A and B are shown apart, each in its own frame.
Chain A
């Protein structure tokens, strides 16, 4: 068998050496009535060639970046991935190693995590970043739980523009420990309003997504002032990590914690995962952080090396008193992002962010002069924005689809007060003419 080297002759040798009559005898501790008395009802095993053909057929039924232009973001962003990311991250020394609990033979993984932590501290303007969490949504939930522990308060106030899926995950996570989630409302221009009326002495944190789900840029300074007044933590949630390269670092604007999703940094959309939850905080809060942390130290000869550290926060040591139940991280995705950020560097990443921003500004200007289309929200944006369409979001997107374009997200289930509208994102993967084609399709003025 391809993945099992032992032959029947090997098996006979082994059984003889250990004095066991049969493989069956090794299973004697399993009571007879607990055994499965038939073969599993699964399709028979197949050759590599057959399995790949079958999967190729399935994959061929899906739209992808290989077949369509994408203007769909909403928390998962289509970006170009340099070839070196795939080449390096697919090295088996990275993919087929375990959690670096044995640091002497895991320095590759540990050094990459240390480099990631350093990069995320720089991008967020905070002191400490962990070795990643499952995704942006669970990272946000973990950030809220962290704030509840730090403040011993139960209430979590969220901005109007927190991604609805993140809001759902937050609700799932904080119920057990007694958290209560209260959502602020959206003002006419798309930004959160009247935060101050919701925050009180029971509030553990304010969570503000920046840019918001509908693409608008929130007023973090206002949120910070409200948080400070009531002794709550300010948590900034970022779902489009590329925005960090253009916008002032949340830590410089008073954020205590930054959480979110770093999929934009070299991680494929992958129908939603695996992605890369990020979490960074001020140094004072490090002992309440969830997840793995890598620290620098020395060996017996004084040489620099890296180890997993502050593990007494974690479940394998602290069990029911751990800061989180999380065990794994998103190691391979973290590695991809670290490689990606190393390739782009500070100037490449900034240029890319400016390019995304410029495409969105162009598209918005075109929307404004296209009959039938509207910009219902006036607040500034980064690379994503709402476009009002003449008939319905579904109909407009269907027109785009027939032109080979995945045109955005129909906002009917999410923000029906805006009238028929779609959420559109413009990354470096779409050209000016793609944008023009999309807008023509959304307006219904195409061919």
Chain B
């Protein structure tokens, strides 16, 4: 694309345009940094490979010249200093929980304790091989065994598999177990009911398992109603997938009755555990009639989100579904086997394997450290403070940002841009303007059933004064929307780049760097 009028400008050539604006937060030093490949200079090296202590061989002689490649395009040549500066500099362009409030609804961006990182880096966890003999892995197996039991207790489920690598894979495992359960009874069912407020992974996982998705409408109060479920429920429905608290931040008050309706027709209830944080120590999905659920350890149990992953999505089941759990399962030895733990593959009715090994073990270690740090009282305090913080924000913001719901919420609240009608300011603008005020925006335009949704989840990690500062920023933006709407609509003004042209990115995809002349 070089030479076209739309070619991007490198940074640092138009700094005059971005200097001198007033606003919140520190401007200070803003680093420019090109791509690794643009920094590359022939002959530079960032790593010294040890000298060989075995006879040298020429690969082409042993493998044939046609089998051996001549060059390695796509890799830069850089010294260690340059690599370190590169990644340190680009890291400063990210917002992060360690910098401040990260109010993404349904994402539970809570603080990630540093202890977890130290725990996961212990050599016996970080540098052990998954196929080494069980006799050399008793520490990690004991930890995994205990974590399964702890998660079962927190959720009220009977058994847990830690294998799924993320919530969506846990969902997939759950839906596959539901399918295996029905098929084991000679019962072929084709549909899964999904409320219209559900996360996109629910229908995607159900479809990948071969089910047809049927959307169930929420009531005007944002809740799922027994009548709606009863109407949609039939003996062709394998399961209802329920997120509780739902994506409006509301506890599904009719959950007990809804589960009974589904069970009465032979169906099962899947629980999406994305919003479990609100219920810690207060209520348990297993006690509400949920048959199978997944956990998001990167939400509720404080493992880091890592700019998009890795997650960990253990799946919990009632005993009726236990025969179908993914293999392998950690088992405590007994009787003539002696003491200790082993990985058990003898589950003839298992849905099979979902992961090459045993899932995202490093994330499981972090979650275990978190559970051990908090204990039952600490977990409950997290649930309570997450809910108090969300209700505090809702109450303080309700007059400026029309809420989508009435009454108390659980861990998150959904606000809207309804009061800005006529100003031209939308939820997107509010979100972008929050960046200028030093905050990551909330989740926006979700759930899909709310027009202009701003979904805010403060988590228990925020202090009262931190919440007050966030409220002040949002109230200031509401004022700006009325009095200086262009300021809001043009936001963000203080970031390294302003709003990016996403249409252009999708229309003419440039998905890798290529040297000028090869584009």
Smallest Cβ-Cβ distance to B431: which chain A residue? A102
| Given A94-B306, A103-B500, A58-B139 contact (CB < 8 Å) | yes
B115 in contact with A48 (CB, 8 Å): yes
Binds A, one of B57-65, B224-232, B261-269, B473-481: B57-65
Could you say which residues of chain B place their CB within 8 Å of the CB of A325? 168-169, 171-172, 201, 204-205, 207-208
B504 at the interface (CB under 8 A from A): yes
B124 in contact with A322 (CB, 8 Å): no
Bound CA span A427–B179, Å: 43
Smallest Cβ-Cβ distance to B130: which chain A residue? A272
Closest Cβ of chain A: how far from B503's Cβ, in Å?
9
Closest Cβ of chain A: how far from B166's Cβ, in Å?
4
A108 in contact with B309 (CB, 8 Å): no
A301 in contact with B14 (CB, 8 Å): yes
Bound CA span A406–B133, Å: 9
Residue with the highest number of chain A CB atoms closer than 10 Å, among B306, B408, B496? B306
Binary A-proximity of B100-129 (CB < 8 A = 1, otherwise 0): 001010010111110101111111111111
A357 in contact with B57 (CB, 8 Å): yes
A183 at the interface (CB under 8 A from B): no
Closest Cβ of chain B: how far from A71's Cβ, in Å?
10
Could you say which residues of chain A place their CB within 8 Å of the CB of B66? 248
B395 at the interface (CB under 8 A from A): yes
Closest Cβ of chain B: how far from A303's Cβ, in Å?
5
| Cross-interface CB contact of A176 among B119, B210, B307, cutoff 8 Å | B210
A6 in contact with B307 (CB, 8 Å): no
Smallest Cβ-Cβ distance to B73: which chain A residue? A122
Could you say which residues of chain A place their CB within 8 Å of the CB of B168? 315, 325-328
B27 at the interface (CB under 8 A from A): no
| Cross-interface CB contact of B139 among A36, A60, A123, A351, cutoff 8 Å | A60
Smallest Cβ-Cβ distance to A45: which chain B residue? B375
Binary A-proximity of B170-206 (CB < 8 A = 1, otherwise 0): 0110001001000000000000000000011101111
Could you say which residues of chain A place their CB within 8 Å of the CB of B26? none
Could you say which residues of chain B place their CB within 8 Å of the CB of A169? 352-356
| Cross-interface CB contact of B251 among A25, A30, A173, A406, cutoff 8 Å | A30
B418 at the interface (CB under 8 A from A): no
Binds B, one of A49-57, A185-193, A228-236: A49-57
Closest Cβ of chain B: how far from A162's Cβ, in Å?
11
A342 in contact with B86 (CB, 8 Å): yes
Could you say which residues of chain A place their CB within 8 Å of the CB of B360? 134, 273-274
Binary B-proximity of A344-356 (CB < 8 A = 1, otherwise 0): 1111111110110
Chain B contacts with A in 444-468, Cβ cutoff 8 A:
446, 460-464, 466
Binds B, one of A198-206, A288-296, A439-447: A288-296
Binary A-proximity of B392-410 (CB < 8 A = 1, otherwise 0): 1001100000000001101
A58 in contact with B124 (CB, 8 Å): yes
A195 at the interface (CB under 8 A from B): no
Tell me the count of chain B residues lying within 8 A, CB to CB, of chain A.
207
B308 in contact with A137 (CB, 8 Å): no
A342 in contact with B36 (CB, 8 Å): yes
Chain A contacts with B in 1-54, Cβ cutoff 8 A:
1-6, 10-11, 13-15, 17-20, 23, 25-31, 33-36, 39-46, 48, 51-52, 54
Bound CA span A99–B441, Å: 12
Smallest Cβ-Cβ distance to B357: which chain A residue? A272
A45 in contact with B374 (CB, 8 Å): yes
| Cross-interface CB contact of B376 among A42, A122, A268, A401, cutoff 8 Å | A42
Could you say which residues of chain B place their CB within 8 Å of the CB of A72? 129, 131-132
Closest Cβ of chain B: how far from A280's Cβ, in Å?
10
A274 in contact with B388 (CB, 8 Å): no
A93 in contact with B96 (CB, 8 Å): yes
B8 in contact with A304 (CB, 8 Å): yes
| Given A35-B282, A169-B356, A17-B83 contact (CB < 8 Å) | no
A370 at the interface (CB under 8 A from B): no
Bound CA span A43–B376, Å: 7
B129 in contact with A406 (CB, 8 Å): yes
| Cross-interface CB contact of A273 among B179, B361, B375, B498, cutoff 8 Å | B361
**Closest 10 CB pairs between A and B?**
A122-B74, A272-B357, A45-B375, A59-B124, A272-B130, A61-B139, A304-B8, A62-B124, A332-B306, A328-B309
17 further A-B contacts with Cβ under 8 Å, apart from A6-B463, A117-B511, are A4-B385, A58-B139, A66-B124, A76-B130, A92-B99, A96-B112, A97-B94, A98-B307, A269-B128, A270-B125, A273-B363, A305-B496, A331-B305, A343-B46, A347-B45, A348-B45, A348-B46
A-B contact pairs, 19 of them (CB 8 A): A2-B373, A14-B388, A35-B282, A64-B128, A65-B123, A68-B136, A84-B46, A88-B91, A99-B305, A104-B495, A105-B94, A131-B308, A269-B127, A269-B129, A272-B359, A297-B8, A315-B201, A320-B204, A361-B55
